[in-house]
Amino acid sequence: MAESSYSPVEEFLYRKELYGEIEPYSSGHLKVSDLHTIYWEQSGNPSGHPVLFLHGGPGGGTSPSNRRFFDPEFYRIVLFDQRGAGKSTPHACLEHNTTWDLIDDIEKLREHLGIPEWQVFGGSWGSTLALAYSQSHPDKVTGIVLRGIFLLRKKELDWFYEGGAAAIYPDAWEPFRDLIPENERNCFISAYSKRLNSEDLETQYTAARAWTKWEMMTAHLHPNEENIKRGDDDKFSLAFARIENHYFINKGFLPSESFLLDNVGKIRHIKTTIVQGRYDVCCPMMSAWDLHKAWPEAELKVRCDSCLVHIFLFHLR
């Protein structure tokens, strides 16, 4: 399974800017449970091909730049903030917040918007959720684009949160590490969970800032100062860190760590493109490679950085 090569035209298109900035033509809040309400928006072409964007984290929420992955003349672009994230309420809430709750929310949103079926796009945690949703509702998915694969396995979590990635980013790792006393460093995810769920709000904020900055400083091949600054935003950091840690402590609420690979057969027929950055530290390439081996029908595109993927959306038209 050799890496896919690129034609000169593809190389040119890959380097072009994202699509221009656009505003939603509709937005709202959908009550999905007695506790949770999610924010949603639509942009692009109201009569276009529906595409659902699934944000990372979990807990990261959406941003206006997410609309720019998609050709606004071709796509009806749907974004939403997952439970507890972004503009969804209650903010940073962990109660009734599981992968399966999110999958139910996606279906409620699809029905609310009157969309029979749609294309699914997700990166990092968004790729995890895209796989889980598509495997649960394959008849509602017309195509899949996955960026920066994350399968929520122990070896992936250990790599990023228990010291593996520190070999590449020691300067970013040390502030994350040093917040935790030496006697608790046998499991940083558990140590941070204790602080992120403290009864003291400032303890939560301190842990959330450290957790978020570690990820934001390592999430791009070239430092993204705008993203790094998000670690200073207490509201964003609290939702990002608490919800992400909550999912990791609970192993994504999946029945087994091989669950997503074991269920590839349910979506094998769906046209899919996997875009992976070879030097992605947060979501190392081993996961994309393992997924591609289990799913050779899915096209794998390997680049230095998996953040710019708009060109590959052409493959699924």
CA dihedral (21, 39, 148, 7) positive or negative = negative
By the 8 A CB rule, do 97 and 83 touch?
Answer: yes
Are 247 and 261 members of one domain?
no
Cα 245–chain centre separation: 14
In a domain, 41, yes or no: yes
Look up the domain containing 215 and give its range.
155-252
Are 139 and 194 members of one domain?
no
In a domain, 196, yes or no: yes
Residue that terminates a domain, selected from 228, 252, 276: 252
Are 214 and 282 members of one domain?
no
pLDDT tens string for the chain (317 positions)? Answer: 433 344 443 443 444 568 999 999 999 999 999 999 999 999 999 999 999 999 999 999 999 999 999 999 999 999 999 999 999 999 999 999 999 999 999 999 999 999 999 999 999 999 999 999 999 999 999 999 999 999 999 999 999 999 999 999 999 999 999 999 999 999 999 999 999 999 999 999 999 999 999 999 998 666 666 666 666 789 999 999 999 999 999 999 999 999 999 999 999 999 999 999 999 999 999 999 999 999 999 999 998 755 554 445 544 55
User: What's the CATH code of the domain at 301?
Assistant: 3.40.50.1820
By the 8 A CB rule, do 80 and 102 touch?
Answer: no
Are 53 and 185 members of one domain?
no
In a domain, 291, yes or no: yes
How many structural domains are present in the chain? 2
pTM of structure:
0.91
- Collapse the DSSP code of 152 into the 3-class scheme (helix H, G, I; strand E, B; otherwise coil) and give the result: coil
In a domain, 76, yes or no: yes
Are 17 and 100 members of one domain?
yes
Are 46 and 118 members of one domain?
yes
Helices (H), 137-284: 154-161, 170-178, 188-196, 201-218, 225-229, 234-249, 259-262
Are 286 and 141 members of one domain?
yes
Are 216 and 268 members of one domain?
no
The alpha-carbon radius of gyration of the chain (Å, integer) is 19
Phi, psi of 153 (to 5 degrees): -95, 160
In a domain, 2, yes or no: no
Are 280 and 137 members of one domain?
yes
In a domain, 115, yes or no: yes
By the 8 A CB rule, do 11 and 311 touch?
Answer: no
Residue that terminates a domain, selected from 219, 252, 285: 252
Residue that terminates a domain, selected from 211, 226, 252: 252
Are 126 and 18 members of one domain?
yes
Are 32 and 85 members of one domain?
yes
DSSP-derived letter for residue 194 is H
In a domain, 3, yes or no: no
By the 8 A CB rule, do 70 and 44 touch?
Answer: yes
By the 8 A CB rule, do 65 and 22 touch?
Answer: no
User: Do β-strands 75-80 and 299-303 pair in parallel, antiparallel, or remain unpaired?
Assistant: unpaired
In a domain, 1, yes or no: no
Are 36 and 117 members of one domain?
yes
Of 221, 230, 208, which is closest to residue 169 (Cα–Cα)?
221
| Angle CA 259–263–265, to nearest 5 | 160
